[in-house]
Amino acid sequence: METAKKVIFSGVQPSGNITLGNYLGAIKNWVELQKDYYCNYAIMDLHSITVRQNPKELKKRTLDLLKLYIACGINPDENLLFVQSHVSAHAELAWILNCYTYMGELSRMTQFKDKSKKHSNNINAGLFTYPVLMAADILLYQTDLVPVGVDQLQHIEIARDIAIRFNSIYGDVFKIPEGFIPKTGAKVMSLQDPTKKMSKSDENPKAYISMMDDFDSIAKKIKSAVTDSEGIVAYKEGKDGINNLMGILSSITGESMESIQNRYVGRGYGEFKSEVAEAVVECIRPIRQKFDELSGNNDYLEKIYTESAEKARSVANRTLKKVYKKIGFVV
């Protein structure tokens, strides 16, 4: 790369409207890291079709996600914001890496097990090889750092294993990436079942906060979040619902769990939930304002994703060509 800065790759699937979990676990960090890194933030449409998508909605959500990246504070002039399927090297490298990945290691992936249960009528091969495509996404850009929520840590590990395996056969082809997990917000849990992570494709909309929800329903969802009957705001084992709300508040405001706990001695869940609701609404409000400003500005968005994809292709194809040569393909 013609850059002295270290490289980041990350992305979100346009498989639903992004949640507060996606924001606090990933995108919020992307914004902070963009100062110091050369960042590639993609919209992972190839990944999203491992689960059936409605074509019209997928198209709309892809552009909405680009708007959200910018609205959240990613600077499109300094980072690459592109659509994964616009850079064909992702699919091409994924095929190759499939041949260097074992069925056994893919069978151990928690996401595959969870999604197979959830979509038992569509356990497709893409769902199984999802981590290989993710490895290709990361390795194409000679990535140093991958900022993700904790649920993706296992996939980063397998990407590293594949890269190390490939390098051990062919020499130093890929940079070995590191995961970057935030201290708070790394795993925002469902509001209705706080033992499960918050997911944008959850069937129950009360379980997640979408960045596109209206502010009244955000407040309602937080106020009806499942907690416990103890009535004490404290971070401890077994209090999954309260732990989750405390984590959300801490991640948004930067206040420590201890300080939140101390402030709430002798006060009830009602007051606490109101504060969390207000913090979430105030966190999302400016993002939504910027999102609305970008709506209707399709030429601007098209320019961003087209120019970014062009630059991304040039970097990605360089790595792909190196891989082809090492394997012995005629290039």
Residues that bind ligand AQP (CB under 6 A): 12-13, 15-16, 19, 21-22, 25-26, 44, 148-149, 151-152, 186-188, 197-201
Q: What's the Cα-to-Cα distance from 83 to each of 40, 65, 142, 309, rounded to whole Å?
A: 11, 10, 18, 7
- β-bridge mates for residue 42, sequence order: 11, 82
By beta-carbon proximity to ligand AQP, the closer residue of 12 and 211 is 12
By beta-carbon proximity to ligand AQP, the closer residue of 91 and 169 is 91
Q: What's the Cα-to-Cα distance from 28 to each of 196, 240, 264, rounded to whole Å?
A: 21, 23, 27
Q: To the nearest whole angstrom, how small is the minimum distance from the Cβ of residue 288 to ligand AQP?
A: 19
Q: To the nearest whole angstrom, how small is the minimum distance from the Cβ of residue 148 to ligand AQP?
A: 3
DSSP, residue by residue, 216-234: HHHHHHHHT----SS----
Q: To the nearest whole angstrom, how small is the minimum distance from the Cβ of residue 329 to ligand AQP?
A: 30
Q: To the nearest whole angstrom, how small is the minimum distance from the Cβ of residue 38 to ligand AQP?
A: 19
By beta-carbon proximity to ligand AQP, the closer residue of 8 and 44 is 44
d(CA 197, CA 26): 14
Q: To the nearest whole angstrom, how small is the minimum distance from the Cβ of residue 202 to ligand AQP?
A: 7
**Sequence-separated (6 or more) residues with CB below 8 Å from residue 255:** 249
Q: What does the CA dihedral 219, 258, 22, 228 come to, rounded to 10 degrees?
A: -50
Q: To the nearest whole angstrom, how small is the minimum distance from the Cβ of residue 189 to ligand AQP?
A: 7
Using DSSP bridges, classify how beta strands 178-180 and 145-147 pair: parallel, antiparallel or unpaired: parallel
Q: To the nearest whole angstrom, how small is the minimum distance from the Cβ of residue 327 to ligand AQP?
A: 29
Angle at which helices 269-294 and 215-223 pack, to 10 degrees?
Answer: 150
Backbone angles phi, psi at 101, to 5 degrees: -125, 140
Active site residues: 115, 197, 200
Structure tokens at 107: 């069978």
By beta-carbon proximity to ligand AQP, the closer residue of 76 and 147 is 147
d(CA 21, CA 190): 9
C-beta separation of 285 from 65 below 8 A: no
Residue with tokens 């103890």: 230
C-beta separation of 18 from 64 below 8 A: no
Q: Minimal CB distance to ligand AQP: which residue?
A: 25
By beta-carbon proximity to ligand AQP, the closer residue of 226 and 327 is 226
By beta-carbon proximity to ligand AQP, the closer residue of 172 and 203 is 203
* CA contacts within 13 A on the Cβ side of 265: 4
By beta-carbon proximity to ligand AQP, the closer residue of 200 and 239 is 200
Q: What does the CA dihedral 149, 180, 104, 163 come to, rounded to 10 degrees?
A: 140
